[in-house]
Chains A and B, each alone.
Chain A
Amino acid sequence: MLNSRIAEKEKEYVSVCKLKEISQEMSKKLELLAQRLETLNDGSEAVSTVLDNWPFIFESIQLASQHTGALVRTPLSADEKQP
């Protein structure tokens, strides 16, 4: 009877070991997924920023087209723009 119990315990141990390895794999995969999603999010932020900037481009062009005189831009930095 003891031998049979030992045999059962050994089978149980083997399957439990497999479970442990699989769960370890899962945690690694999820870690990888988290990294990829972070990259994805950064990319989407970049695209979102670019698309958000289009109206400003239009605005600048319209402004430039309306004023045939010299445009002087005085931003916070020391640059000046005079087309």
Chain B
Amino acid sequence: MSQLERLERLEQSITLALYEIDANFAKCNRTVSTRILPIIEKYTKNCNNIWESSKFWKQFFETSASVSLSGVEEPVQGSEKPKEGFVSSESKYTDSGDPKIEEDEEDTETFYQNIPSSFGHEAFEPQEVKDEQVTQSTPKKDTSFENLSLENASLTPIPARLQTPARKIDEANLQHTGRSALLHRVLDTNWHVQVTPHEKKKYEDMDIDSSPLMSPSPIAMKMETISAPGDRTSKSALSMFSEFEHESNDSLMPNGMSPPKTIQFSPHSLGDSFNRTDGERSLSLQRKFDALNDSNENMIKEESWEL
């Protein structure tokens, strides 16, 4: 009967198709296990290196801008703000990168900087930060990095995360268990960076003394005469380079400059000749510092390179 024949052929074709499906699945598994997993292992290694290397620059920028950065995760609630908000907020941050200059009235003024995650979430939420978050994110030197990395040792550590956001998110999204909790969290949350300016004291003599960027020794003579506003930051941004090189010499200024010498800024940008007298030295330094402030933020980095 043709029906029997047809039945047989159908059955054979079904078997053949099932065999093809099995072959496809096997190919998928091979591809994943042979190529993808080793690649991801190398990628984790590279990413860890990058994160450790970036720790230094993060400290550097924090010191130069006198802020504390922390990563805050916001759960995505389907909010879609236009990209313009992101751009304007970013430009606002770069312009006011040094909050001290702006003479902010509030001590704990925080604002968000959005980091578009690799999964395409680009929402920006300028919310007010609670005091708990702020006070717990102000300490600059945290051991919480290591704590977090040990907690999430199964996967790569989340960059720039401090204690409070981690616990908050853990309690909120504890739907999944254990190791997969991190995986599921990555897609759920928006990654923000929270910038917290350090509490600054009001200086009676607003002068170059208050800048954390200037190396202290040329100003040391001036600070003896004027009541010292107190050392807000024990280290300047420039001294981090020498610390980074594991060469902490007290008598040597960063980049090998000795204390009695006047700091040389780039002559082509400032164009002033040096004044050797004490009284005029501070004025010339102040003028150069003003010139630095007028230019963009990149100059702050550049000054450390000029010899």
Check if B203 is an interface residue, CB within 8 A of chain A: no
Report the nearest A residue to B19, measured CB to CB: A20
Check if B35 is an interface residue, CB within 8 A of chain A: yes
User: Are A44 and B47 also in contact (CB < 8 A) when A10-B10, A51-B54 are?
Assistant: yes
Q: Would you give the 0/1 interface string for B123-155, flagging 1 where the beta carbon is closer than 8 Å to chain A? A: 000000000000000000000000000000000
In chain A, positions 22-60 with a C-beta closer than 8 Å to chain B are 23-24, 26-27, 30-31, 33-34, 37-38, 40-41, 44-45, 47-48, 51-52, 54-55, 58-59
Main secondary structure of the interface of A (DSSP, over half): helix
26 inter-chain pairs at a CB distance below 8 angstroms, sorted by A residue, are: A10-B10, A13-B14, A13-B17, A16-B21, A17-B17, A27-B27, A31-B31, A34-B31, A37-B35, A37-B36, A38-B35, A38-B39, A44-B43, A44-B46, A44-B50, A45-B42, A45-B46, A47-B46, A48-B46, A48-B53, A52-B53, A55-B245, A58-B241, A62-B242, A65-B257, A66-B256
B interface residues (Cβ-Cβ under 8 A, vs A):
1, 3-4, 6-7, 10-11, 13-14, 17-18, 20-21, 24-25, 27-28, 31-32, 35-36, 39-40, 42-43, 46-47, 49-50, 53-54, 56, 241-242, 244-245, 247, 255-257, 305, 307
A interface residues (Cβ-Cβ under 8 A, vs B):
2-3, 5-6, 9-10, 12-13, 16-17, 19-20, 23-24, 26-27, 30-31, 33-34, 37-38, 40-41, 44-45, 47-48, 51-52, 54-55, 58-59, 61-62, 64-66
